[in-house]
């Protein structure tokens, strides 16, 4: 396939998967990569550039073996002769998937696909939380991508090196870099991650500087003005933001609203544990049990048996606005 596609991340892996769909030459089908996901329309990068695309009816419902495309996906699209658009027919197998648990952990929602490297962005202030960083690193590893920690706003402190040392305690081989997106500091240290065809995604809490970094890497202000107004078939306005960017000099960058705010899903994953508490609570003696000191409390029993972490229960009480009874040390 063409070099243009390779620069977008195309490889033998996708070429092989695409072959059966590209054989019939009477159908004008070609590969493309999802750059933005709107309510009614998509944008895809093809060998021709960035183009509008629609979803084939068969893809609109999630059925077994039929996947709805997400940011970063490679798809097979058919060029419609009359319409000025491509129709997405098929989602190709994913090399990596970034998913979050939904419905209390009973299902997963794929947010991004085919990401190679994830920059976990944090700052040397109240955002800096080593256990949480550890969870993010683990989540990235599960996705199949390579985690890299970026300490942004390093201009704010004298001892940025101390923070990097802490991060390295999470794993001696975990790459960590100090940067200052606002002041263009340390950007050379992350440039090597952007090679042709390689896809980097950004995650981190709100305010750590992901938009600022995106703008720096792209050499233009895209993140603030990244959304475009569109009209769907019903004449409603939908906002779609392109979130898979080509980085000048090579590589691709994903800065996607669903992916970027990992702090939100981190909170969700705790509500998964709360669901366990609610499940246990159905076996408490009293229907209005607060799981503090009541006799016959199934939740307290689970803690005593070591089936439920006392810290999780404490967090639950905190979330309920109840006085927190921190677990006693024995
Ligand atoms: N001192 C300092 N401030 C920075 C740096 N990078 C970003 N900021 C500032 O931090 C604030 C938040 O930056 P954003 O880029 O909007 O952060 P974000 O992660 O995109 O935030 P959300 O859009 O809420 O997810 C802005 O006021 C930036 O100017 C930096 O390297 N140093
Ligand atoms: Zn109880």
pLDDT of residue 82: 74
Residue 26 lies inside a defined structural domain of this protein: yes
Beta strands in the chain (DSSP E): 29-37, 42-46, 49-55, 74-79, 86-91, 97-102, 107-113, 117-122, 146-151, 176-178, 199-203, 227-231, 237-241, 244-246, 252-254
The band of 7, judged by pLDDT with boundaries at 50, 70 and 90, is very high
Instruction: Name the one residue in this structure whose structure tokens are 């998967």.
Output: 17
Same domain, 161 and 242: yes
Q: What are phi and psi of 31, to 5 degrees?
A: -80, 150
Q: What span, in angstroms and rounded, lies between the C-alpha atoms of 81 and 23?
A: 19
pLDDT of residue 230: 39
The band of 206, judged by pLDDT with boundaries at 50, 70 and 90, is confident
Residue 106: pLDDT over 80:
no
Nearest CA to ligand 1 atom 12: 207
Which residue from 123, 207, 225 has its CB within 8 A of the most atoms of ligand 1, so it is best to mutate?
207
pLDDT of residue 260: 61
Mean pLDDT of 246-259: 87
Q: Which of 101-115, 164-178, 201-215, 316-330 has the lowest mean pLDDT?
A: 316-330
pLDDT of residue 263: 56
Helix (H) or strand (E) run with residue 309 in it: none
**Do residues 264 and 253 touch, judged by C-beta distance below 8 A?**
no
Residue 271 lies inside a defined structural domain of this protein: no
Mean pLDDT of 4-21: 95
Which ligand neighbours the alpha carbon of 303 most closely? 2
Same domain, 138 and 235: yes
pLDDT of residue 309: 73
Q: Which atom of ligand 1 is nearest to the CA of 212?
A: 15
- For the chain, the domain total comes to 3
pLDDT of residue 66: 63
Same domain, 120 and 249: yes
Residue 306 lies inside a defined structural domain of this protein: yes
Residue 173: pLDDT over 50:
yes
DSSP 169: T
| Residue that wins the pLDDT comparison between 88 and 265 | 88
Q: Which residues line ligand 1 (CB under 6 A)?
A: 152-153, 155-156, 180-183, 206-212, 260
Nearest CA to ligand 1 atom 22: 206
Q: What span, in angstroms and rounded, lies between the C-alpha atoms of 184 and 179?
A: 8
Residue 57: pLDDT over 80:
no
Q: What is the pTM of this model?
A: 0.77
pLDDT of residue 43: 93
Supply the DSSP string of 220-238, one letter for each residue: S--STT-EEEEE-TTS-EE
Same domain, 122 and 76: no
CA proximity to 55, closest of 66, 299, 285: 66
Tokens of 282: 């159905």
Mean pLDDT of 149-159: 97
Those residues with Cβ within 8 angstroms of residue 329's Cβ, 6 or more apart along the chain or in another chain: none
Same domain, 249 and 117: yes
Mean pLDDT of 225-253: 60
Range of the domain at 293: 282-319
What is the interface pTM, i.e. ipTM, of the complex? 0.96
pLDDT of residue 239: 37
Same domain, 168 and 257: yes
pLDDT digits 0-9 by tens, 177-186: 999 999 999 9
pLDDT of residue 270: 55
CA 83 to ligand 1 center in whole angstroms: 41
Per the annotation, does 209 bind a ligand? yes
Per the annotation, does 152 bind a ligand? yes
Per the annotation, does 184 bind a ligand? no
Per the annotation, does 239 bind a ligand? no
Which residue from 121, 163, 212 has its CB within 8 A of the most atoms of ligand 1, so it is best to mutate?
212
User: Quick check: helix, strand or coil at residue 61?
Assistant: coil
pLDDT of residue 265: 57
Mean pLDDT of 58-73: 77
CA 284 to ligand 2 center in whole angstroms: 5
Per the annotation, does 227 bind a ligand? no
Same domain, 133 and 163: yes
pLDDT of residue 154: 97
Same domain, 116 and 260: yes
Mean confidence (pLDDT) of the chain: 83
**Do residues 148 and 193 touch, judged by C-beta distance below 8 A?**
yes
> What angle in degrees, to the nearest 10, is found between the helix axes of 310-319 and 262-281?
100
Nearest CA to ligand 1 atom 29: 182
Which ligand neighbours the alpha carbon of 277 most closely? 2
| Residue that wins the pLDDT comparison between 22 and 139 | 22
Residue 34: pLDDT over 50:
yes
Which ligand neighbours the alpha carbon of 295 most closely? 2
Residue 106 lies inside a defined structural domain of this protein: no
CA quadruple 21, 48, 258, 135: dihedral, nearest 10? 80
Same domain, 122 and 257: yes
Please state whether beta strands 176-178 and 146-151 pair in parallel, antiparallel, or not at all (unpaired).
parallel
């Amino acid at each position: 396939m063409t070099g243009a596609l390779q620069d977008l991340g195309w490889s033998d892996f996708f070429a092989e998967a695409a072959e059966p769909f590209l054989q019939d030459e009477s159908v004008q089908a070609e590969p493309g990569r999802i750059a933005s996901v709107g309510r009614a329309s998509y944008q895809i990068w093809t060998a021709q550039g960035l183009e509008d695309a629609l979803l084939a009816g068969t893809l609109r419902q999630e059925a077994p073996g039929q996947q709805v495309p997400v940011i970063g996906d490679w798809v097979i699209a058919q060029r419609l002769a009359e319409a000025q658009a491509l129709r997405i027919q098929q989602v190709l197998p994913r090399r990596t998937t970034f998913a979050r648990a939904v419905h209390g952990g009973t299902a997963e929602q794929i947010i991004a696909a085919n990401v190679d490297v994830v920059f976990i962005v944090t700052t040397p202030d109240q955002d800096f939380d080593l256990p949480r960083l550890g969870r993010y690193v683990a989540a990235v590893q599960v996705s199949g991508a390579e985690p890299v920690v970026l300490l942004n706003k390093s201009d704010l402190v004298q001892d940025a090196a101390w923070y990097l040392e802490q991060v390295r305690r999470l794993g001696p081989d975990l790459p960590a870099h100090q940067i200052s997106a606002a002041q263009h500091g340390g950007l050379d240290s992350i440039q090597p991650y952007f090679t042709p065809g390689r896809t980097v995604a950004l995650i981190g809490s709100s305010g750590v500087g992901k938009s600022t970094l995106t703008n720096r890497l792209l050499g233009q202000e895209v993140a603030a003005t990244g959304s475009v107004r569109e009209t769907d078939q019903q004449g409603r306005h939908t906002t779609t933001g392109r979130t898979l960017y080509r980085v000048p000099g090579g590589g691709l960058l994903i800065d996607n609203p669903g992916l970027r705010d990992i702090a939100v899903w981190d909170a969700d994953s705790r509500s998964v544990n709360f669901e366990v508490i609610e499940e246990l609570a159905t076996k408490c003696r009293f229907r209005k049990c607060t799981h503090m000191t009541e006799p016959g409390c199934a939740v307290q029993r689970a803690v005593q048996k070591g089936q439920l972490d006392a810290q999780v229960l404490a967090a639950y009480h905190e979330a309920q606005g109840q006085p927190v009874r921190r677990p006693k040390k024995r």
